[in-house]
Amino acid sequence: MEVLNSRLILRPRDRQRSLRFYRDVLGLAVSREFPGGTVFFLGQGFLEISGTGGPGPSPDQVLWLQVRDVRAEFERLRGRGVTVLAEPARQPWGLDEGWVADPDGMRIVLVEIPADHPIRTDVRDPAPE
């Protein structure tokens, strides 16, 4: 399979409330709008808010967002009244993670990758001198 594009689609209970949350509170940039839906940029992916959903997301669903400074983002979001599920903390796997929820209860993990984490480490052999 050759994947050319991808996006996560959320069907919120109240589309306008979710649009305000993702656009105005999280501050995601709009990629495009169409009748009944809005698509936001998510770094290398997209998030679509469209239609109307049922009782809420499954606890098995999580939106993973890498940010530059997880603690600064938490302070900003806390000041905007966002529901905090777990404060930012270094995890056993070496990432700094904190959890919030959108208005429908969709769990969102904000992740900061420390400078010394293996994801950021160049594992190539050094060039011969």
Specify which residues 10 forms β-bridges with.
Answer: 49
Indicate if the pLDDT at residue 122 is higher than 80: no
Q: Specify the pTM.
A: 0.85
**Residue 23, SS3 per DSSP:** helix
| Residue 118 binned pLDDT confidence (cut-offs 50, 70, 90) | confident
Least confident of 63-67, 93-97, 124-128: 124-128
Report the percentage of the chain scoring pLDDT > 90.
74
Retrieve residue 96's tokens: 């700094």
Rounded to the nearest angstrom, the gap between the alpha carbon of residue 29 and the centroid of all alpha carbons in its chain is 12
Q: Which domains does the chain have, with CATH numbers?
A: 8-112 (3.10.180.10)
Confidence class for position 36, pLDDT limits 50, 70, 90: very high
State which amino acid sits at residue 4.
Answer: L
Where is 18: in which H helix or E strand? helix 15-20
Sign of CA dihedral 75, 77, 81, 86: negative
Locus of tokens 């959903």 = 53
Greater pLDDT, 101 or 127: 101
Q: For residue 40, which of 13, 58, 73, 63 has the smallest C-alpha distance?
A: 63
Going by C-alpha positions, the residue among 26, 27, 31 that lies closest to residue 41 is 31
